[in-house]
Amino acid sequence: MSKLIIVPTPIGNLDDITLRAIKVLKSVDVILAEDTRNSGKLLKHFDIETKMTSYHQHNEHKVIDDITLRIANGETIALITDAGTPAISDPGFLLVRKCVSENIEVECLPGPTAFVPALVNSGLPSNRFFFEGFLPHKKGRQTRLKMLAQFPYTVVLYESTHRLLKTLLQIGEFFGANRQVSVSRELTKIHEETVRGTVTEVADYFKNNVIKGEIVIVIGQAAND
């Protein structure tokens, strides 16, 4: 039966791909890839010869109807992004929603996503947490931070390297300089690092060290929560 299959791919260490993911990527009719050049390296490493086509945030509105039509006509299509699970702060949601609305079967494989190891590594409460993903770059950013600061549970953010220090300073402003945070970068890679402490301590650390790689920030609850 034709369907859309969401396939998570490694966030760094290629050994994190599952046997099932490899099997699916070899068996589908076509793979939708966020960046075919980047994904081409992954497919080559695992001897996957399935044809790829581009699917990313800049073209998804244009190609979504064609993709769902192809699935409705009998093709099974896999969706991957550059790293991690599609639709988690990456393209994919619009296509999944469209397939659901058209009664097209959607299957999502389990697999890598950056915020889970960062949350567990943090040592901060993980029984209840809020995944924010990327904050707005400009409009609405402070409003969002004010709202998040009121939440009585752990908050998880994604951030780029060049905005990390700015974001830590803003967390200090809205959450308090003594709020516990954990910053993880280069997860699953050779230079993986997690820095824990108060907002002030972690910000001071990164002021004096080179910042590289994708960033996950985990913000703890207020002390009385």
Give me the mean pLDDT over the 171-183 stretch.
Answer: 97
Mean pLDDT over residues 119-144, rounded? 95
**Mean pLDDT for the stretch of residues 172-197:** 96
From 89, 108, 127, the end of a domain falls on 108
Distance CA 57, CA 68 (A): 17
- Examine residue 171 and state whether it is found in any structural domain, yes or no: yes
More confident residue, 225 or 207: 207
Task: Name the amino acid, one letter, at 202.
Answer: V
CA distance 199 to 174: 11
Q: What is the pLDDT, as a whole number, of residue 25? A: 98
pLDDT at residue 222 in the model: 85
The range of the structural domain enclosing residue 143 comes to 115-219
Structure tokens at 53: 């086509």
Q: Is residue 225 situated within a structural domain?
A: no
pLDDT attached to residue 43? 97
Q: What is the average per-residue pLDDT within 104-108?
A: 98
Tell whether 153 and 201 lie within a shared domain. yes
Sheet holding 180-185: strands in order across?
129-134, 154-159, 215-219, 180-185, 193-198
Residue 119 lies in a domain: yes
Mean pLDDT on 173-189: 97
Please state whether beta strands 52-54 and 4-6 pair in parallel, antiparallel, or not at all (unpaired): unpaired
What is the number of domains present in the chain? 2
> In the listed set 108, 129, 145, which residue is the last one of a domain according to the structure?
108
Q: What is the C-alpha to C-alpha distance for residues 108 and 5, in angstroms, rounded to an integer?
A: 6
Return the CATH number at 47.
3.40.1010.10
